[in-house]
């Protein structure tokens, strides 16, 4: 039996979809434990490219059971669309997809509130996806959310929805001058969604704990990245959930003592989407060059990603708070053409040098990165099949990343296809 957690160790978009898809071949369950359809995991198969937002990336393997845990906020309309899109492409989820009855539900008023608040003068602009994720988690924390289990009971759902819409409409009208929502329409729409979702709904905490008892192999799939975690990220420029490996226990009902291995995923450089500090961000020319070659556009929103040099300070903090034991490095090939490659090993802040990632977000805006410079390899790596066949300077670069993070690199991706993957030491 193996119980592993795969987490992003930067600001998300590290290529977790591909890594999870590959690791899923050898497991029985793949479990998503946080976030919502603000996530976008891209998986490239022989039959095409797929972008998943809610359904775990193990769905392409017919023997794998995929679980959406209680820590996820579920937009039923988006979920049903994703299920039907997969079915049209020949991937059935019947009998293989399970949704926690304790997961909270996203409603139209959450999406509208997300956008209204982001546009409201006086509020910090975070750069959210506008999918209603934050407002849904807010309702959860305020104990006024509606869960999947509530959606399955018509009377309970009607009672809770009436209270929710009454409250939200007051806020919309008085603060945002927005007319609000009709109870009848939302109720009718979500009764339809409930009927579609019902075959997949169960107590997934019981299912997963029984699977652990029976020695099944389980892979927990994180969305976003560590530095978007609501506690450990660059707050307030973060998502609204617990992205770190500890969130796997909270978001599924599996005890933390059951989690055996944590695999961290990093790009060979760094990216982030939206607002917030980014000490190692490229200049405009290099940004455009790397963005174009790396196809750095958000899988969920299509927004261009900001790109920068590898930040070992940021990644080392991720290793610490997640307990990362193995690293998967993606997109090494994007750096193939560069003469010189930099690695940030520390920050200069207020005249002092620090190698620890600071909690003060404002300080990060003015932090000056301290760089090591490494010679590039100026050679195509996309067709390399063995680590020893990589250019010497590429191996030196990877070795230095591993040294700085004090963690072995076990998986290397040199392209988007699953065949463009090198195993230095197979993750257990």
In 3D, which of 152, 180, 168, 136 has the Cα closest to residue 38?
A: 136
In 3D, which of 419, 422, 238, 227 has the Cα closest to residue 317?
A: 227
Q: Given 13, 21, 28, 333, which residue is catalytic?
A: 13
What would you report as the CA-atom Rg of the chain, rounded to the nearest whole angstrom? 22
> Across 146-248, where does the E strand assignment appear?
201-202, 218-221
The 10 Å Cβ neighbour count of residue 189 is 14
Residue 388: helix, strand or coil by DSSP? helix
The residue whose two tokens read 């034991």 is 325
Instruction: Give the integer Cα–Cα distance in Å for 97 and 86.
Output: 12
Instruction: Give the integer Cα–Cα distance in Å for 83 and 79.
Output: 6
Residue 326: helix, strand or coil by DSSP? strand
Q: Would you say 29 and 67 are in contact if contact means Cβ atoms under 8 Å apart?
A: yes
The verdict on whether 41 is a catalytic residue reads yes
Q: Given 21, 26, 28, 41, which residue is catalytic?
A: 41
| C-alpha distances in Å from residue 2, one per residue of 15, 66, 69, 212, 223 | 22, 16, 19, 9, 20
In 3D, which of 183, 54, 76, 168 has the Cα closest to residue 117?
A: 168
The verdict on whether 150 is a catalytic residue reads no
Annotated catalytic residues are: 13, 41
């Amino acid at each position: 039996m193996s119980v592993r957690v795969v987490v992003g160790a930067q600001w998300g978009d590290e290529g977790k979809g591909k890594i999870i898809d590959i690791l899923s071949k050898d497991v029985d369950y793949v479990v998503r434990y946080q976030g919502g359809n603000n996530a976008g995991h891209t998986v490239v198969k022989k039959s095409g490219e797929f972008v998943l937002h809610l359904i775990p990336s193990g769905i392409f393997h017919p023997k794998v059971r995929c679980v959406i845990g209680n820590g996820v906020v579920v937009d039923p309309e988006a979920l049903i669309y994703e299920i039907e899109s997969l079915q049209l492409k020949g991937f059935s989820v019947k009998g293989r997809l399970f949704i926690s009855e304790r997961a909270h539900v996203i409603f139209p008023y959450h999406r509208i509130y997300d956008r209204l608040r982001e546009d409201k003068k006086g509020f910090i602009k975070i750069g959210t996806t506008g999918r209603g994720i934050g407002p849904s988690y807010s309702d959860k924390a305020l104990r006024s959310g509606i869960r999947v289990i509530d959606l399955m009971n018509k009377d309970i759902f009607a009672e809770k929805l009436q209270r929710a819409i009454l409250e939200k409409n007051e806020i919309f009208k008085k603060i945002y001058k927005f007319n609000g929502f009709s109870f009848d329409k939302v109720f009718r729409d979500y009764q339809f969604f409930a009927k579609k979702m019902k075959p997949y709904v169960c107590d997934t905490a019981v299912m997963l704990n029984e699977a652990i008892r029976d020695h099944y192999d389980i892979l927990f799939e994180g969305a976003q990245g560590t530095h978007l975690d609501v506690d450990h990220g660059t707050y307030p420029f973060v998502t609204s959930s617990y992205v770190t490996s500890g969130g796997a226990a909270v978001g599924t009902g599996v005890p933390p003592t059951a989690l055996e291995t944590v695999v961290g995923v990093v790009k060979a450089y760094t990216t982030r989407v939206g607002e917030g500090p980014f000490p190692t961000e490229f200049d405009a020319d290099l940004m455009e060059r790397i963005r174009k070659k790396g196809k750095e556009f958000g899988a969920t929103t299509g927004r261009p990603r900001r790109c920068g040099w590898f930040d070992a300070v940021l990644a080392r903090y991720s290793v610490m708070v997640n307990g990362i034991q193995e690293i998967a490095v993606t997109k090494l090939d994007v750096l193939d053409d560069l003469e010189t490659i930099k690695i940030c090993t520390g920050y200069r802040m207020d005249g002092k040098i620090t190698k620890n990632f600071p909690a003060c977000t404002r300080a990060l805006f003015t932090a000056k990165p301290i760089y090591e410079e490494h010679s590039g390899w100026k050679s195509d790596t996309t067709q390399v099949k063995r680590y020893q066949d990589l250019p010497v300077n590429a191996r030196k670069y990877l070795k230095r990343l591993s040294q700085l993070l004090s963690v072995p690199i076990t998986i290397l991706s040199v392209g988007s296809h699953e065949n463009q993957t090198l195993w230095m030491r197979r993750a257990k």
